[in-house]
Amino acid sequence: MRHLLSTRDLERASAIRLLDVAEDMAQTADRAVRTLPALRDKTVVNLFFEDSTRTRLSFEAAAKRLSANVITFSAKGSSVSKGESLKDTAQTLLAMGADAIVVRHHDSGAAHRLANAGWIDAAIINAGDGTHEHPTQALLDAFTIRQRRFGADARGRGLDGVRVAIVGDILHSRVARSNVWLLHALGADVHLVAPRTLLPHGIDTWPVAVHEHLDEALALAPDAVMMLRIQSERMRDAFFPSAREYGREWGLTAERFAALGPDTMVMHPGPMNRGLEISSVAADSSGSTVLAQVTNGVFIRMAVLYLLVAGSGSDADPIGGQG
């Protein structure tokens, strides 16, 4: 694997390998010395054309834990036309000697462009491109589900037979898209729930079951319920009558949460609109994995950086000799 651009082309074995390396990374978190030398003298550039808090911080933390030099570049607000600015920026980064570029961009396809235009010879990691994909988010979600579901037996496994309901603004969600491909590749049974107005065209070709009513999907007793943020910043039209109506029909309200099985995971990629797609009772419950997802995000990004940047030695044990 040279770049991580999407989960659509990630094979099951590669996905499991990534999750397993992230398990190794998680084990290092309990040590007195948590910094690993794997990326010493390598440079990781975070290139963010769109707002981000947790993803940017998470990549920064991951790169630092692997001893890389980290440069963060927030290009938001640049007035240069998008294609040109991306090319110019790529050439600047080339001059800086970047080994990996983590890119978030408002255009779907920006990471592919950076990887394939021949401007730069670095590993490209997609940290969210428009409404297209957000592969490390899906990987950290899959990691969280696998760990909660299988505990100490998680290593080496897929998610066969695990039922996941993804609920809400599917239309604008790169998190939903990346999760659909990855969860499917790992053998999970994926259900999407949304008002018809928030479903993308062509969804009938996706490897999922689609429901219009949340209660119908929850009646199937999913192992995990993943609530998506209503992405108002991407909406120019009214996609539902009112916030109240949306919350009542598609939100994980306190009543719906109370009716879930005791082992059902409540997930959200953040940032949450509390009281809209998710109630605080659900978000702050013991079944909620919201904070675990943030913690696991660092391990996943360490694994991705390690596998893409550490080079030929990356088949070796990443933490060997560090104990």
42 binding ligand NCD? (CB under 6 A) = no
- Closest C-alpha among 123, 126, 122 to residue 137: 126
- CB nearer to ligand NCD: give 158 or 247: 247
- CB atoms under 10 Å from CB of 64, counted, come to 16
Report, in Å, the least distance between residue 137 CB and ligand NCD: 5
Provide the CA 6 distance to its chain's centre, in angstroms: 10
234 binding ligand NCD? (CB under 6 A) = no
How far apart are the C-alpha atoms of 11 and 13, rounded to whole Å? 6
- Closest C-alpha among 22, 69, 17, 72 to residue 47: 72
Of 135, 195, 269, 318, the one binding ligand NCD (CB under 6 A) is: 269
CB 163 within 8 A of CB 221: yes
How far apart are the C-alpha atoms of 282 and 264, rounded to whole Å? 11
DSSP assigned state of 195: -
- CB nearer to ligand NCD: give 134 or 163: 134
174 binding ligand NCD? (CB under 6 A) = yes
55 binding ligand NCD? (CB under 6 A) = yes
Q: How many binding residues for ligand NCD (CB under 6 A)?
A: 11
Report, in Å, the least distance between residue 228 CB and ligand NCD: 6
175 binding ligand NCD? (CB under 6 A) = yes
Q: Concatenated DSSP letters for 132-188? A: TB-HHHHHHHHHHHHHHHHGGG-TT---TT-EEEEES--TT-HHHHHHHHHHHHTT-
Q: For residues 194-213, which are near ligand NCD according to CB under 6 A?
A: none
251 binding ligand NCD? (CB under 6 A) = no
Report, in Å, the least distance between residue 296 CB and ligand NCD: 12
Site string for ligand NCD, 275-304 (x = CB under 6 A): ------------------------------
How far apart are the C-alpha atoms of 99 and 90, rounded to whole Å? 12
Report, in Å, the least distance between residue 231 CB and ligand NCD: 6
What torsion, rounded to 10 degrees, do the Cα atoms 14, 125, 234, 183 define? 10
Site string for ligand NCD, 144-173 (x = CB under 6 A): ------------------------------
Of 65, 113, 134, 211, the one binding ligand NCD (CB under 6 A) is: 134
Which residues, 6 or more positions from 223, have their beta carbon under 8 angstroms from its beta carbon? 145, 149, 162, 163, 164, 263, 264, 265
131 binding ligand NCD? (CB under 6 A) = no
Residues making contact with ligand NCD (CB under 6 A) = 54-55, 128, 134, 137, 174-175, 229, 231, 269-270
